[in-house]
């Protein structure tokens, strides 16, 4: 069981923004050496930079337009070209959205004053709307206008964590007294030990009707951010020893050995959107290098399926939990999981941009240039199948979010640098034994 498997739902730039974009682009080599080397070697470097800009700008439009202007809650999903009447929000999409607003302010995608206003109103609503939370944890799915719990939705430990990561990014970026106060109060009120439910690993969820789920965050996946925020809490932390309590199973594919707990590629991406694990390791692994290996193994896994799905090539691959022609599925590999049918999920490559920049950019360029039906107002659709010509009509907030954040991280490291300035994050990685 994982974050996405719990899902219930199947402008032209202003001159100032253009100048900021060019200025930031000039700093790429210094900010991120891997992309810097890529830019020096690739004849498509200018096109790559433009593509990353398009991915981020269109993603920002989703988070700006498909959020309530009063509550700030972001839709779980929407039609790729807008005009969507669905009202279901997710707290994870809202967390990605808060980080997206920081990127948008930095890049001049919208008025910084208006963005700051949106962040404030979002945090105010989250703090004041008591039905949204129990012991500081938020329900996974909620109504975007009222904040009311969606039917049967669970109180989610991991989705709350993603929301908090977005809040803490905004707290550090804006340096605004009101935003700082609101985000700090929201983080400090979370009762992390309560979600342990008497155990040594976190429960995945809780419902008022049933209590805690039996499923636990006890095996490597996107859980690292959950444990680190809990360990770093200044008010209600868990013991640093919880870091050692979750399993780190090793897998091997085509000679590549790495830690992995499930097949969908996103498990190797989400914690890395905020926590900068580069050049760090704990007693068990260098998790950034582990994600490099996982991405490389996933690419090889997709290529191994080319006999069945000839569109999987060096330039087009990537499967992670997403929509499919049969509905939402948690698929991926290795090992193979789910009814894989040749579908390509752009967020698989985009979410791994910092790990394999050259390889993933090839995929995104190919998808953008050869499959125009897979692109719309909000960027790439969630998934498409080049073999059958099926194109999903939707974007999903968390997939658009991981794509945007990782595109910015590979360009400038902005989200990493901003989030890691939080003293709680710095404290947590030290207590977890990172050196």
Supply the DSSP string of 101-166, one letter for each residue: HHHHHHHTSS-HHHHHHHHHHHHHHHHH-GGGEETTEEBSEEETTT-PBPTTPPEEHHHHHHHHHH
* Interior angle at CA 51, CA 288 and CA 161, nearest 5: 40
Closest CA to 220 of 254, 271, 256, 255: 271
CA distances from 412 to 63, 137, 380, 415 (A): 20, 32, 22, 8
Determine what percent of the chain falls in helix, strand and coil, rounding each to the nearest 5: 50, 15, 35
Residue labelled with tokens 């609503």: 125
Look at residue 36 in the predicted model and tell me its pLDDT.
Answer: 54
- Averages of pLDDT over each 10 residues, the chain, 435 residues: 34 34 38 48 74 98 97 98 96 98 98 98 92 92 95 97 98 98 98 98 97 98 98 98 98 98 96 98 98 98 98 98 97 97 98 98 98 98 98 98 98 98 98 98
Model confidence pTM above 0.75: yes
Whole-number Cα distances in Å, 284 to 129, 232, 245, 366: 40, 20, 12, 37
What pLDDT score does 244 carry?
98
Domains and CATH numbers, the chain: 13-431 (1.50.10.140)
Contact between 248 and 284 under an 8 Å Cβ cutoff? The reply is: yes
> How far is the C-alpha of 133 from the C-alpha of 166, rounded, in Å?
17
At 350, list the tokens.
């985009």
What is the reported pLDDT for 131?
A: 72
pLDDT of residue 44: 63
| Beta-strand relationship, 322-324 and 327-329 | antiparallel
Q: According to the model, what pLDDT value does residue 43 have?
A: 53
């Amino acid at each position: 069981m994982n974050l996405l498997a719990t899902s219930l739902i199947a402008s032209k730039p202003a001159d100032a923004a253009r100048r900021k974009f060019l200025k930031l682009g000039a700093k790429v080599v210094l900010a991120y050496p891997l992309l810097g080397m890529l830019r020096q070697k690739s004849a498509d470097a200018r096109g790559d930079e433009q593509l990353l800009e398009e991915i981020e700008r269109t993603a920002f439009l989703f988070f700006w337009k498909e959020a309530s202007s009063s509550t700030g809650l972001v839709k779980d999903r929407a039609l790729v070209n807008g005009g969507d009447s669905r009202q279901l929000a997710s707290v994870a999409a809202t967390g990605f959205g808060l980080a997206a607003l920081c990127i948008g302010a930095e890049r001049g995608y919208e008025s910084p004053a208006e963005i700051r206003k949106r962040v404030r109103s979002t945090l105010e609503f989250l703090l004041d709307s008591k039905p949204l939370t129990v012991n500081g944890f938020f329900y996974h799915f909620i109504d975007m206008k009222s904040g009311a719990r969606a039917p049967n939705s669970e109180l989610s430990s991991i989705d709350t964590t993603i929301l908090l990561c977005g809040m803490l990014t905004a707290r550090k970026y804006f340096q605004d007294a009101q935003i700082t106060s609101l985000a700090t109060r929201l983080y400090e009120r979370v009762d992390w030990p309560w979600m342990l439910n008497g155990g040594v690993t976190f429960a995945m969820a809780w419902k008022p009707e049933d209590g805690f789920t039996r499923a636990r965050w006890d095996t490597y996946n996107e859980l690292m951010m959950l444990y680190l925020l809990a360990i770093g809490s200044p008010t209600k932390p868990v013991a640093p020893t919880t870091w050692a309590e979750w399993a780190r199973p090793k897998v091997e594919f085509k000679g590549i050995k790495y830690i992995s707990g499930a097949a969908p590629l996103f498990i190797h991406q989400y914690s890395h959107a905020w926590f900068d694990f580069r050049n760090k390791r704990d007693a068990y692994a260098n998790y950034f290098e582990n994600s490099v290996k996982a991405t490389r193994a996933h690419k090889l896994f997709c290529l191994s399926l080319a006999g069945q799905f000839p569109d999987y090539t060096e330039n087009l691959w990537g499967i992670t939990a997403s929509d499919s022609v049969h509905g939402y599925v948690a698929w991926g590999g290795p090992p193979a999981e789910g009814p894989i049918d040749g579908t390509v999920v752009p967020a698989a490559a985009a979410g791994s941009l910092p790990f394999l920049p050259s390889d993933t950019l090839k995929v995104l360029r190919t998808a953008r240039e050869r499959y125009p039906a897979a692109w719309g107002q909000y960027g790439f659709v969630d998934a498409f199948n080049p073999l059958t010509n099926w194109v999903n009509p939707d974007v999903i907030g968390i997939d658009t979010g991981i794509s945007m954040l990782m595109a910015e991280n590979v360009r400038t490291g902005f989200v990493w640098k901003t989030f890691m300035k939080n003293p709680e994050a710095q404290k947590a990685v030290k207590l977890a034994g990172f050196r």
